[in-house]
Amino acid sequence: MANKASDGRLAVVTGGGRGIGEAIARQLAAQGLRVVVADIDGANATRVADSLGSPHVGRTVDVADERAVDSLFDEIEESVGPVAVLVCVAGLLILPGGERPMIKDMTLDTWERSFAVNTRGAFLCSRAYLQRREAANVEHGRVVFFGSVAAQLGGYRSSAAYIGAKSAVHGYAKAFAREAAHLGITSNVIAPGLIDTEMLRSTVTSSGALASVAQNIPLGRVGSVDDVAAAVCYLVSPAASYITGDVIDVNGGYRMQ
Ligand SMILES: NC(=O)c1ccc[n+]([C@@H]2O[C@H](COP(=O)([O-])OP(=O)(O)OC[C@H]3O[C@@H](n4cnc5c(N)ncnc54)[C@H](O)[C@@H]3O)[C@@H](O)[C@H]2O)c1
C-alpha cells in the first residue's frame, strides 16, 4: 500500500476535473500531498479543488498548448511551490457521431487532435516538469503517464488515432524514465482497462452493454476510478522508488501478459 506522505509534496494532476483524474486528486490529497487540479474544464478543476479545501488549488490548462503548459508550471512553481509529482491523466477519445471512426474514414483532424491531447500533452507537461527539476530537484520525484489497454490490445471500442497516441505514451514514458533517473525521478505508465467513467460510457450504447463488457473481465466487473487512483498512489509513494520505466496494468485481468 501507499505510504502516507509526511513531506507534503506538491502534485499536479492533469485531467483532474472528473473521472479517473478526480479520484487521483482525492486520493493523493488523502495521502497528505498538496494537489493542483489542472483541467481544460476550469469549472470542474475548481469544483474538485474547492471540495478538497486548502491547500489544494484548481487551474485551467489545455495540455496541448505549449505556452499554457509552460505558464502553468511557471505560475505554480512561483506561487505554490516546486512540483514533486506529475500525473498526466488528461486524455481524449474522439468518437465522431458516437461511433468508432474507421481508419479509411478518419479525418486528419481526429488524428491530430488525438495526438495533441494524449501525446503532445504528456510531452509538454513532463518536459516543463523535468526542466524545473533539473534546475532545482526535489525528493521523491514521480511522473505517472496514462496509456491504455487499448494500446496493448489494439482496442475494440476506441479509435486507431487514440490507440496510436496512447502507444506513443507507453514508449515515451520509458525514454523519460532514462532521462530523469539521475534525479531519482521515476516515470511509469498506468494502463487502465475498462474503467467506469464518461469516456468509457461514450463507447457503449447502454448500461446493458456495459454489463456485457464486464463478462470478458476475469474479475467480473468494470473497474472503478478508485481502483486506478490506488495504483497511482502507490507509484508516487516513496516506497515505489525502484519502479521506473514500467507499465502497470489496472484491468481486472482483461489482459494478462
Ligand atoms: N475510462 C477508461 O476506461 C480508460 C481506459 C484506458 C485509459 N483511459 C485513460 O485514462 C485517463 C482518464 O480517463 P477518464 O476515463 O477519466 O476520461 P474522462 O473523459 O472522464 O476525463 C478526462 C479529463 O481530461 C480533461 N481533458 C481533456 N482534454 C484536455 C486538455 N486538452 N487539457 C486538459 N485537460 C483535458 C477532461 O476535461 C476531463 O476532465 C485518460 O488519459 C484516458 O485516455 C481511460
The whole-number average pLDDT for the span 43-47 is 98
pLDDT more than 70, % of the chain? 97
* Spans of all domains in the chain: 10-194+225-248
Whole-angstrom Cα distance, residue 221 to residue 127? 36
Of all atoms in ligand 1, which is nearest to the CA of residue 88?
41
Catalytic center residues:
162
Residue with cell 482483461: 254
Q: Are strands 83-88 and 34-39 parallel, antiparallel or unpaired?
A: unpaired
Whole-angstrom Cα distance, residue 141 to residue 158? 32
The whole-number average pLDDT for the span 135-164 is 96
What local confidence, expressed as pLDDT, does residue 2 receive?
A: 43
Q: Are 49 and 105 in contact (CB under 8 A)?
A: no
Q: What is the DSSP letter of 179?
A: H
Residue with cell 481502483: 227
Q: Whose CA is nearest to atom 30 of ligand 1?
A: 62
The whole-number average pLDDT for the span 4-21 is 88
Q: Provide residues with CB under 6 Å of ligand 1.
A: 14-15, 17-21, 39-41, 44, 61-64, 89-92, 117, 121, 146, 148-149, 192, 194-195, 197-200
Q: Whose CA is nearest to atom 38 of ligand 1?
A: 15
Of all atoms in ligand 1, which is nearest to the CA of residue 223?
3
What local confidence, expressed as pLDDT, does residue 151 receive?
A: 97
- Ligand 1: centre distance to CA 91 (Å): 4
- Ligand 1: centre distance to CA 228 (Å): 12
What local confidence, expressed as pLDDT, does residue 6 receive?
A: 54
Residue with cell 515505489: 240
pTM for this prediction: 0.97
Looking at every residue in the chain, the average pLDDT score rounds to 95
Q: pLDDT tens digit string along 123-146?
A: 999 999 999 999 999 999 999 999
Q: pLDDT tens digit string along 87-126?
A: 999 999 999 988 889 999 999 999 999 999 999 999 999 9
User: Which pLDDT band, with edges at 50, 70 and 90, does 211 fall under?
Assistant: confident
* Three cell numbers written together for 14: 492533469
Q: Are 147 and 170 in contact (CB under 8 A)?
A: yes
> Which is the CATH superfamily of the domain at 10-194+225-248?
NAD(P)-binding Rossmann-like Domain (3.40.50.720)
* Three cell numbers written together for 72: 502553468
What local confidence, expressed as pLDDT, does residue 7 receive?
A: 57
Of all atoms in ligand 1, which is nearest to the CA of residue 63?
32
β-bridge mates for residue 34, sequence order: 10
